[in-house]
Amino acid sequence: MSSNKSAPPYPERTGAVFCVRATCRDLQQMPVEDGISLGRLRTDGGVFFFNRAQFDEAALAQGLKHDESVVIGAHRLHDGSAWLHWLVRDNGKAWAPQSGRRRWLAPLVLLLCPVPIVAALMLPFGVNLFVVLFQIVLFSVGGFAGAWAIYRLALMAHPGRRRLARLFHAARAGEPIATHQRPTHRTPQRLQLDDGLHRDFGLLQGRLDHVSVKRETYGSGRYSYQMLEYHLSCGGAPFSIHSRTGAGEWRTLLDPVLIRRAPLFLAAGDHVSLLTLAADGEIHGLLNESDGIAHVTYKGTLHTPLARRAIQLFVLFILVFMTGVGFTLSVTDWISRGVGPDYWDWMELMHLSLAMLLIMTLLFCGLGLIGERIHHFYFRRKQARPIKKILGIAFGWRLRAGRSATLNEYS
């Protein structure tokens, strides 16, 4: 089934697809609300996460034996763990990915998406408000349908997805395939610190006795919001972690090949180190010795990497959206005149797009500067929190185990 001839090394690039023969050590699952259940497979070839909805329940129900040898197809996540796509056992049985249904739907939608756009263009412009609103609806339907179709077609042509499919069919057919070398990670060790309060942060190391995840609603009415709440019990002491991004239920909206961050996965029996701040008593760092992943939160600090990435994506979306609006207005003007664009029309469009981009850039820079000053003034009046000590402990813990200096952030 597998061939070790010139086995390539374990990939270091995030998102890289690989195939490895490994021996099973432990299989755990973490139920999340709304029927979502995440799984974690620990092997001597790494740690693999998956969504149980990816596979047939009958195959999952058979389970895996301890020390059973399997061939796994996966892609690398940012922290060095992996997301599992398929698994083939020596007896020929497999965890096969759900076959793509209605593959013809995306090409059909792409062919039909111009229909509502053409219908909107054929309607008279500026007749009354209802016609304008109907045109906006038609443009939106055509645009969203086209974007969805392009997204699905891009997934079908994704090189990693296609390579995983080829490797799976070859492994299931018993054909020899080149498997990657196993990663040379060391088992993470306990921190060389005593449990208790260390001036401005606290530490508790032990085995998790109980783990449950529930969705809780905070506030009321229009000001209410929902968060996932992890209820933990370590050494008989109860803890809770509040997270919007921890359990990874949003990953069910993405194709598995696009996932890049490991979920905040916890199971009863995991050996963990809980790092809390004396200022608020909440968990700001969780080092899981069972899978080697360090989870941290920057809650209550001045700047967070996750917030910075979210703002960058939002600004990029606004810039692209405004550029699209300018292009749409120009095309509408060309159609209303009944003539095709010439050289000067294209130059006018370019100048309009550059002017809009410049205005939006200056606007965002000004708003960002004002917001940063207000944010800095607010946190300057609060007591500084020693999050850097917790980050330093987490980085050192990862590096001593021979892993990358990558922390899994949740918020």
Per residue in 189-241, pLDDT tens?
888 888 888 888 889 999 999 898 887 777 777 777 777 888 899 888 898 88
Token pair for residue 389? 């000590």
pLDDT at 4 over 60: no
pLDDT score at 381? 57
Whether 356 is covered by a domain: the verdict is yes
pLDDT tens digits for range 325-356: 777 777 777 777 776 677 777 787 778 778 87
pLDDT number for residue 245: 57
Backbone phi, psi, residue 303, to 5° = -135, 145
Q: What's CA 26's distance to the chain center, in Å? A: 24
Closest to 188 in 3D by CA, of 42, 294, 84? 294
Same domain, 228 and 312: no
**Predicted pLDDT at 385:** 60
Instruction: Summarize pLDDT for 31-75 with one digit per residue, the tens.
Output: 886 667 889 999 988 899 998 888 888 778 778 888 899 999 999
pLDDT of 83 reads 94
Residue 1 — very low, low, confident or very high, per pLDDT cuts 50/70/90? low
Within-domain flag for 51? yes
CATH label of the domain that carries residue 62: 2.40.50.1010
Q: Residue 126 — pLDDT band, cuts 50, 70, 90?
A: low
Tell me, what's the pLDDT at 378? 67
Q: Which of 299, 331, 358 is the last residue of a domain?
A: 299
Residues 92, 10 within the same domain: yes
Nearest to 330 by CA among 311, 349, 347, 310: 349
Phi, psi of 178 (to 5 degrees): -80, 115
Residue 77: band (very low, low, confident or very high) from pLDDT cuts 50, 70, 90: very high
| Residue 126, phi-psi category: left (phi > 0), alpha (psi -120 to 50), beta (remainder) | left
Q: Do residues 267 and 345 both lie within one domain?
A: no
Domain boundary among 74, 100, 126: 100
Instruction: Provide the residue range defining the domain that includes 336.
Output: 305-380
The span from the CA of 297 to the CA of 274, in Å, is 12
pLDDT in tens, 229-276: 888 998 888 988 887 655 455 555 678 888 888 888 999 999 999 998
CB 217 within 8 A of CB 224: yes
Q: Is residue 326 located within the same domain as residue 236?
A: no
Query: In this structure, are 277 and 329 located in the same domain?
Result: no
Residues 343 and 293 in one domain: no
Mean pLDDT of 312-318: 78
Return the pLDDT at 371: 74
> Is the model more confident about 253 or about 294?
294
Mean pLDDT of the chain: 82
Residue 286 and residue 310 in one domain: no
254 and 309 fall within a common domain: no
Q: What is the 3-state secondary structure (H, E, C) of the chain?
A: CEECCCCCCCCCCCCCEEEEEEEEEEEEEEEECCCEEEEEEEECCEEEEEEHHHECHHHHHCCCCCCCEEEEEEEECCCCCEEEEEEEECCCCEECECCCCCCCHHHHHHHHCHHHHHHHHHCCCCCCHHHHHHHHHHHHHHHHHHHHHHHHHHHHCCHHHHHHHHHHHHHHCCCCEECCCCCCCCCCCCCCCCCEEECCEEEEEEEEEEEEEEEEEECCHHHCEEEEEEEEEECCEEEEEEECCCCCHHHHHCCHHHCCCCCCCCCCCCEEEEEEECCCCCEEEEEECCCCEEEECCCCCCCCHHHHHHHHHHHHHHHHHHHHHHHHHHHHHHHHHCCCCCHHHHHHHHHHHHHHHHHHHHHHHHHHHHHHHHHHHHHHCCCCCCHHHHHHHHHHHHHHCCCCCCCEECC
Give domain status of residue 393, yes or no.
Answer: no
- How confident is the model over 83-105, as a mean pLDDT? 83
Confidence (pLDDT) at 108: 92
Q: Is 321 exposed, middle or buried (0-12, 13-18, 19+ CB in 10 A)?
A: exposed
Q: How confident is the model at residue 2 (pLDDT cuts 50, 70, 90)?
A: low
Q: Are residues 316 and 278 in the same domain?
A: no
pLDDT greater at residue 337 or residue 317: 317
Q: 386 in a domain, yes or no?
A: no
Rg over CA atoms, the chain: 26
Q: Tally the domains of the chain.
A: 3
Asked, for residue 354, whether it belongs to a domain, the answer is: yes
Distance between CA 70 and CA 90 in Å, rounded? Answer: 6
Predicted TM-score (pTM) of the model is 0.79
Distance in angstroms (rounded) separating the CA atoms of residues 366 and 361: 9
pLDDT > 90? residue 97: no
Are 322 and 246 contained in the same domain?
A: no
Last residue of a domain, one of 67, 100, 133: 100
**Which tokens in the block code for residue 326?**
């300018």
